[in-house]
């Protein structure tokens, strides 16, 4: 049943252009207060990790729509949403 939560409700088609992921190691004591309740920080020793992903998406559309309904976008995100 949980596998259904990992899928889009609507099948999506897209092409990915460029992708850049930056990961930084910072003192865990600085990053821990930035997390939402219930999340835990990935750590190595006294350091926690902060990652940012920037993605260029082209021709993004629901799979059942024709290509002329597609859109392109660039976005940036962090895994925690912070």
Q: Among candidates 18, 6, 34, 22, which has minimal Cα distance to 77?
A: 22
3-state secondary structure of 34: helix
pTM above 0.75, yes or no: no
Average pLDDT over residues 49-67: 90
Q: Among candidates 70, 74, 79, 68, which has minimal Cα distance to 31?
A: 79
High-pLDDT (> 90) share of the chain, %: 40
Distances (CA, A) of 41 to 21, 29, 35, 54, 80: 18, 10, 8, 21, 10
pLDDT at res. 47: 96
DSSP label at residue 60: E
pLDDT at res. 82: 45
pLDDT at res. 4: 61
High-pLDDT (> 70) share of the chain, %: 85
């Amino acid at each position: 049943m949980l596998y259904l939560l990992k899928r889009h409700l609507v099948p999506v088609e897209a092409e990915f252009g460029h992708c850049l992921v930056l990961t930084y190691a910072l003192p865990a004591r600085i990053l821990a207060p930035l997390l939402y309740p219930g999340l835990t920080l990935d750590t190595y020793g006294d350091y926690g990790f902060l990652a940012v992903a920037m993605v260029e998406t082209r021709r993004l559309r629901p799979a059942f729509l024709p290509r002329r309904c597609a859109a392109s976008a660039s976005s940036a995100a962090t895994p925690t949403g912070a």
